[in-house]
Structure 1
């Protein structure tokens, strides 16, 4: 396995970045700004916690930040259900966010297992 030297090389960070872009695209036409702000912040939290944890000085710290990122995946997934319930997003958009956040959560969990 190649040594990862920067967080930008991590697949989980790249996937989190893609999820942020998708959340922003799907929230673009939602008029409930507090809802969109919360969902966008949760998605950004995933990406930034992966980056910040990687930049920490130990695997233990990285693990802690990955745990936070994983929790934020759950928040994005939960809000995607609400977006569908409130008809803020189409069912297809909501399902895509649910799927991608669940997949990313699993990938983060695998990285956490690797660090332990």
Structure 2
């Protein structure tokens, strides 16, 4: 894995930002525009993903970073759940839901892979 000097260079952070931008655009749709609670929840979950990646990275300690990546992964799951609920009550259409669902599953997989990589790296350091 390449050595990254800034969290902004991390592909997983960039992916999380793209999802966050999309969520900001989604909440401006007609059906969600006045649903302030849903908007706040969606935006909160979406920005939590990228913010936790950034915060964890800045600690410069793999164990801290892993913990924040786990929190980011949890926020991605929370966002998927919120989107499913909004689909179920007719606030978003199936196409939007499916696009975000697939994107969030992919992001969760990327986070899981990075967590695994960092855990294995830390385990190797212990054995050395």
> TM-score scaled by structure 1?
0.96
Which residue does the alignment assign to 2:10? Answer: 10
Find the aligned partners of 2:44 and 2:8 in 1 and give their Cα distance: 20
Which residue does the alignment assign to 2:125? Answer: none
The counterpart of 2:111, out of the listed 104, 108, 115, is 108
1:34 aligns with 2:28: no
Which residue does the alignment assign to 1:43? Answer: 46
For structure 1, list consecutive stretches of 5 or more residues without a partner in the other structure.
none
CA deviations 1:11-60 (Å, max 9, x no partner) are 00000000001111111121211011001100000000000000013100
Residues matched between the structures, number:
116
1:53–1:65 Cα contact (<8 Å) kept: yes
For structure 2, list consecutive stretches of 5 or more residues without a partner in the other structure.
120-128
RMSD: 0.9
> TM-score scaled by structure 2?
0.88
Find the aligned partners of 1:7 and 1:25 in 2 and give their Cα distance: 24
Find the aligned partners of 1:61 and 1:45 in 2 and give their Cα distance: 16
In our comparison, the structure showing a higher alpha carbon Rg is 2
The runs of at least 4 aligned residues of structure 1 exceeding 2 Å deviation read none
